[in-house]
Structure 1
Amino acid sequence: MVRLVSKRWRMMRLVIALLLVAILVVSAGCSGKSDQKQASSSSGAKVIKVGVIAPFTGPASRVGEEFKGAITMAFDEINNQVGDYKIEFKWIDDESDAEKGARAYEQAIVKDKITVGFMDWHAWVSASAMDVAAKYKMPHFFSFGASDIVNQKYKSDPEKYYYWLGKAWPTPSLLSTGYVQTINEAVQKGLWTPKNKKVAVYGVDNEWGRLFGTSIAQQFKDAGWEVVTTEWIALGETEFYPLLSKLKGLDVSLIAGTMSDPPSVSAFTKQSKEVGLKSFVISDGLGWVGEWYKLTGDSSNYVLDQIPQYTTPAAKKFRDDFKARYGFEPGASSAGMCYDWAKYFIKVLQACQAEYGEITTEKLAKIGKEKVITGKLTYTDGIIHKEYKYTPETFPDPVVDQQHYMFPVIQYFDGKGKIVWPEAWKEADLQVPPSLKN
C-alpha cells in the first residue's frame, strides 16, 4: 500500500512539474510579444518609420539641412501622427555618393526596419537606391533626382522599379527650353543684340550636369546657335579661373550650365566677374539654397536662373517661419518644394489609412501604384506649384506645364529674382548687362 501511494505521488509531482514548465513557456512567449509591442511605441501607438535620403554631409549638405527642416515643419503640423500611427524618421546620409547612399539605405531597411522611403537630392544616388528599393520591395516616394538615368531604369522594367514612386524634379530637358525661349524672345524683341550666336555649355560632371548640358546644347543648336565648347566640372570644384579665361578667349555671347553644390556655383559666379567675362550667364540652380546671395554678392546681378519663387502669402509665411526656426533663409526649390512634397506624402499616408485601414509597406506600395502613378491622388495645396501630379504617360516625371509644375526664368538683381519668362508670369523684361551693350 505504501509503495502504491509513493508511486502515485511521484506521478503527480511529474505532472505538476510538466504543467509548471508549460506555464513558464507560455508566459515567456506572451512576455516576448508584449515587449515587442512596447518596442514599437512606448506610448502604445503604432509606428511608421520613414527613411529620408539626403546629403546631410558633404558638398551639398546645405540641401540636406533644408530638406530636414522642411520635412520636420510639415510633419509638425500633424503632430507627427497619421490616424493611430506615430511618425518616426530615419535620416539617411548619402554623402552625395551613390555607393554610400545605397549602402546606408539598405541598412535603414534591414537594420532599422523602416516602413517607407522618402526624398533624395542627387540623380546618381536615386539610380543606385532604386535597385535597393526594388530588392526589398520598399516603396520610396518623391525623390528630386532628375536625370534621365532614373527614367531609363524605370522604363527598362516598370514592374521591378515602380517602387521608386515618382521624381520630384522632372528631367532637365522638360524645363531647360525656357532659357532658350527667353533668350530668343529677347533677341526677336530687340531687347538684346548679341555680338554673335555662339554659346558655351558647362556643367557639373555627373548625371544631372551632363544631361542638363547636352539637353540645353541641343536646344540652342535647334534654335540656330553654335555651341563652341562643352566643359564638365568636378563636384565641389571651386577654382575656375583657367576655365573662365578660356571661355573669355572664345568670345561667346552666352554661357549656359548648371552645378549642384553651393560652393562651386558661388565660386564660379564670383570668378566670372573677376576675370571680366563678357557673356550673358545662365546659371541653373544658383538660387537653390536660401543664402546664395551671401555667397555671391553683386556678381550674381544679371544672371539668369530657372527657379520657383515665394510669391503667395502661404509661401512667404513658410519662408519666414523656416528662417525664424532655423536661422537661415530656405531656398524655394529645395526647402519650399520639399515642404510641398512632404505634404503630398502625408496625403498619401492618410489615403492609405482611409483606403485600407492600416499603413504598411505593402499597402503603401499598392496605393502608390494604383493611386499616385495613375494620377488619381494628387496634391493641389502647395506653396510653390499649382498641382503635383503624375500620369502613366509622364511617370516617373510629374506633369509639367503652367497649370501644374513649372519653373519661371528669373533674372537676379541685388539678391532678388524678377520673372522674365513666361509671358503670363513676367514681372520685367530681360535686362542686358552694361558690358554687353554695343
Structure 2
Amino acid sequence: MGTKKILQVVACFMAMLFLAGGVASAADKVLPVGVLGPFTGPSAQNGKEFQASVEMAMEAIDYTVGDYTIEVVWVDSQSDPARAASAYAEAVEGKGIQAGVLNWHSSVAVSVMDVAAQYKVPHMFGFGASEVVNEKWQADPEKYSYWGGKGWPVPAKLEGNYIECINEVIANGTWTPKKKLAAIYGEDTDWGRSAGGAYKEALLASGWEIYSEEYFPITQTDFYPLLSKFKSAGVELLAGTSTAAPSLTAFVKQYAEVGNKGVLIASGLGWIGDWYKMTGPGSDYVLDSIPQLTTPEAKQWAKDVKAKYGFNPSPSSGGLSYDGIRMFIKILNRAYEVYGKLDKETIHNIMVDEVNTGKLTYSKADGAIIMNEYKYTPETMPDMVVGPEAYFFPILQYKAGKGHIIFPEDWKQKDFEMK
C-alpha cells in the first residue's frame, strides 16, 4: 500500500474516532438528581407517593432537559435524621448528585440542610415545615441558600386555621362545648412539636384551657390509655398531627372506639390517599386540612396514578410532590437556557437569583395541579407566599371516607357537623 493510501486510511480512522468521541460526549451528559424521601420506615407510604410523582413527571419529559439525561438517585431518609444525612452524603460522594429535591420530615430537613450546604448541592422543595428549619436558614441565609424554597410553610401559617374554624362553629351556635378544655397530641418530632405549639398559641388566645400536651414516638400505634385519660378528664377538643400513617390512623380509629364525643383534629390524616382503608368509619366527623383535586388536570393525574401504581394518591404527599418536581424541572430548564449547562453552580444560581426573588414561580399556567402558585420572595424565604391566591389548605370534615370543605366561608361545601 502506498504512503498516500496509508495516510488516507489513517485520516479516515481518526475522523471516525473523533465522531465517535463526539457522540459519546453528548451521550455522557448526565445530571444525577437526588430525590429525598421516606422510602422505608413508618412513613413509607408517603415515599411511595413521592416515587410515583417523580417517575410520572420525569417520564413526561423523557428524563431529558436540553441535551442532559436526568438520572434519578433515590435517597432513603428512613424517617430518621441521622440516617438521612448519611444517605445524602453517600449520594453526593458515591453517586455524584448535582442537585436534590423533595423531603418529608422536618427533623430530616434540619439534619440534611447541613449536608447540602457542606457539599454545595442545591436542594429544592423539601417539605420539612418546622420553625426550626426557618430559624436555621434565616440565621445564615448564604450558607443555607443551598436548601431552597420549602414545599410546606411553618405550621403557624396553616395549622392555626383549625382553631379559627372551631371558633366560628362555636360563635354561630353549631357546637356548644360543655367547657373549653382542649388537649394537644402529636409525634415527638420537630414537625409534631411545631404544630402543637401553633395549636396551643391559637387555643390560649381563644380562651381555651389546655389539659395537657402529649408527644409520642412516630412508630407508636397504641393510644387506648391516653385516649381514655382524655375522655375521663372531659376534654372537648383534641388537636394534633402525625406524619406517619400507621400512627395517625390508629389514633383516629381508637378515638372512636374509646367513645370520645368531642371534636378531633387529625392534621395529616389525608396525607396518604388510602387512609380510609385504615380508619373505616372511625374517621367520621374528624377535621383535617389538605389541598384538593379541583381541576380536570388534577383529577386526571389522580386517575393516572391509580391506573399505573394501584393506589389513590393524596393531594398532599402525592399532588404537592408532583408540583414540586415539576417546578424543579422548570428550574433546570431555566438554568440550561441561561448557562447552557447543568451542574451544582448553575442550578444554585437560578434558585438564588430567580426563585428566591419571586422572578421564577410555578403556577396553574405552568401546569400546577394543587396550588394556584408557588412563589417565594426575600421576605418569605424559605417559606412560600401563603394565601388563598397562592398556597393554602382549607379545613375539611370527613364522613364515609369523603372530605368536605367547611372553612373558609367562601370555600365552604358543607356546614360543620357534630357526632
TM-score with structure 2 setting the length: 0.93
Structure 2 unaligned regions, length at least 5: 1-13
Tell me the equivalent position of 2:6.
Answer: none
**Please, which of 25, 45, 48 is the counterpart of residue 31 of structure 2?**
48
Tell me the equivalent position of 2:409.
Answer: 423
Tell me the equivalent position of 1:395.
Answer: 381
Percentage of matched positions with identical amino acids: 48
CA distance in 2, matches of 1:34, 1:150: 46
Q: Which amino acid aligns with 2:29?
A: K
Tell me the equivalent position of 2:133.
Answer: 150
Q: Which amino acid aligns with 1:358?
A: K
Q: Which amino acid aligns with 2:122?
A: P
**Contact 1:45–1:84 (Cα < 8 Å) also in 2:** no
Tell me the equivalent position of 2:214.
Answer: 231
Tell me the equivalent position of 1:408.
Answer: 394
The answer to whether residue 183 in structure 2 is matched with residue 189 in structure 1 is: no
Tell me the equivalent position of 2:276.
Answer: 293
The answer to whether residue 239 in structure 2 is matched with residue 256 in structure 1 is: yes
Deviation per CA, 1:180-202: give whole Å up to 9, x if none: 11101111111111111111110
Tell me the equivalent position of 1:386.
Answer: 372
Aligned residue for 1:106, secondary structure, equals helix
Tell me the equivalent position of 1:19.
Answer: none
Give matches, 1:19-418, under 5 Å.
38=24, 44=27, 46-381=29-364, 382-418=368-404
How far is the alpha carbon of 1:95 from its aligned partner?
0.6
Q: Which amino acid aligns with 1:134?
A: A
How far is the alpha carbon of 1:111 from its aligned partner?
1.2
Aligned residue for 2:360, secondary structure, equals coil
How far is the alpha carbon of 1:34 from its aligned partner?
5.7
Q: Which amino acid aligns with 2:36?
A: I
Tell me the equivalent position of 1:20.
Answer: none
Rg larger for: 1
Aligned residue for 1:431, secondary structure, equals coil
How far is the alpha carbon of 1:156 from its aligned partner?
1.3
Aligned residue for 2:374, secondary structure, equals coil
CA distance in 1, matches of 2:171, 2:325: 41
CA distance in 2, matches of 1:221, 1:52: 39
How far is the alpha carbon of 1:277 from its aligned partner?
1.0
Q: Which amino acid aligns with 2:105?
A: H
Tell me the equivalent position of 1:6.
Answer: none
How far is the alpha carbon of 1:334 from its aligned partner?
0.5
Deviation per CA, 1:181-238: give whole Å up to 9, x if none: 1101111111111111111110100100001001111111001111111101111101
Q: Which amino acid aligns with 1:407?
A: F
Aligned residue for 2:352, secondary structure, equals helix
CA distance in 2, matches of 1:318, 1:68: 14
Tell me the equivalent position of 2:8.
Answer: none
CA distance in 2, matches of 1:386, 1:116: 26
Aligned residue for 1:255, secondary structure, equals strand
Aligned residue for 1:90, secondary structure, equals strand
CA distance in 2, matches of 1:96, 1:60: 7
CA distance in 2, matches of 1:104, 1:34: 34
CA distance in 2, matches of 1:279, 1:233: 21
TM-score with structure 1 setting the length: 0.89
CA distance in 2, matches of 1:224, 1:253: 13
| Structure 1: 4+ residue segments shifted above 4 A | none
